[in-house]
Amino acid sequence: MESDRELVENEDIEVELVLDALLKKSDYDYRNYSRSHIKRRLSHRLTVSGYNRYSDMIPDIIYNPQFLNKLLSDLSINVTEMFRDPSFFLELKDKIFPYIKTYPFVKIWHAGCSSGQEVYSMAILLSEDNLYEKSQIYATDFNREILDVAKRAIYPIDTIKKYTNNYQQGGGQNSFADYYIADYDSAAIIPSLKKNVLFSFHNLVTDGIFGEMHVIVCRNVLIYFDKELQNSVLKLFYESLVPGGFLCLGSKESIRFSEVEKLFEVVSSSEKIFRKRVC
Partner 1 sequence: MAKYDVIVVGASAGGLSALEKILSGLEKDFSIPIIIVQHLSPDSGDSILSLLKKYSVIELSEPCDKEVILNNHVYLAPADYHIMVEKDKTFSLILGPKENYCRPAIDVLFETAAEVFFDKTLGILLTGANTDGTKGCIAIKKFSGTVIVQDPEEATMAVMPLGAINANAADFVLSLKEIVEKLNFYIKES
Residues that bind partner 1 in the complex, under the rule CB under 8 A: 4-5, 8, 34-37, 40-41, 44, 77, 79, 220, 222-224, 226-227, 230, 251-254, 256-257
- What is the smallest separation between the CB atom of 213 and partner 1, expressed in angstroms? 23
Asked if 140 and 116 count as a contact pair (C-beta separation under 8 A), the reply is no
Asked if 165 and 178 count as a contact pair (C-beta separation under 8 A), the reply is no
Picking from 85, 80, 86, 97, the residue whose alpha carbon sits closest to that of residue 169 is 86
Name which of 241 and 249 has its Cβ closer to partner 1: 249
- What is the smallest separation between the CB atom of 64 and partner 1, expressed in angstroms? 23
Name which of 193 and 247 has its Cβ closer to partner 1: 247
**Distance set, CA 233 to CA 63, 120, 201, 223 (Å):** 33, 24, 16, 12
Q: Rounded to the nearest 5°, which phi and psi values hold at 158? A: -75, -5
- What is the smallest separation between the CB atom of 117 and partner 1, expressed in angstroms? 14
- What is the smallest separation between the CB atom of 276 and partner 1, expressed in angstroms? 20
Name which of 44 and 53 has its Cβ closer to partner 1: 44
**Distance set, CA 106 to CA 52, 241, 242, 275 (Å):** 53, 12, 11, 15
Name which of 192 and 270 has its Cβ closer to partner 1: 270
- What is the smallest separation between the CB atom of 114 and partner 1, expressed in angstroms? 11
Name which of 81 and 129 has its Cβ closer to partner 1: 81
3-state secondary structure of 174: coil
| Spatial distance between the Cα atoms of 69 and 39, rounded to a whole number of angstroms | 17
- What is the smallest separation between the CB atom of 222 and partner 1, expressed in angstroms? 7
Name which of 101 and 161 has its Cβ closer to partner 1: 161
| Spatial distance between the Cα atoms of 141 and 191, rounded to a whole number of angstroms | 21
